[in-house]
Amino acid sequence: MNASPSPLLALYRIVLVVLGLVVLVAWLSERPWEGRDRFDQRFQSLSALTYGDGWPFRVDRAMLECVDGRYLTVRAAPDGGISDEPFALDDAAKRVAEHRGWRDVREIQLRNADVSPLLDVGRRLCD
């Protein structure tokens, strides 16, 4: 007697494999892990010294970034180094900040400081 699997069982196995692959791809595309945003990222170094009186941050140096061609973030650190943690700068970045693990730029922003000149620079990075 030939013990070949029934066509229904074979179809069930194929559906399970395809469903597993779909779930895996969806999970990987939504998983914010370190370095993921570096596939399409452009940087510009900024400092209070070169920027002048309009410098909007409590830290002396920052790295402006265009992430994935559409999100503007800033990396900065109080000790003058560049932090691994991005701060969401523009509205698009703020909408995905929690999902991506980005912090609120107000944590490093001077009170009532205008960040719009940085947004203009950042948009040029994203072009």
Residue-level pLDDT, tens digit, the chain, 127 residues: 556 668 888 888 888 888 777 666 665 554 443 333 444 568 888 888 888 888 999 888 888 999 988 999 999 866 656 677 899 999 999 999 999 999 999 989 999 899 998 998 888 888 8
Note the Cα 108 to chain centre separation in Å. Answer: 18
For tokens 């970034």, the residue is 65
Q: Residue ranges of the domains in the chain?
A: 36-126
- Nearest-angstrom CA–CA distance, 49 and 45: 12
Q: Which of 126, 119, 122 is nearest to 68 (CA)?
A: 126
Per-residue CA distances from 31 to 28, 34, 82 (Å): 5, 10, 24
Contact 75, 83 (CB under 8 A): yes
pTM score above 0.85? no
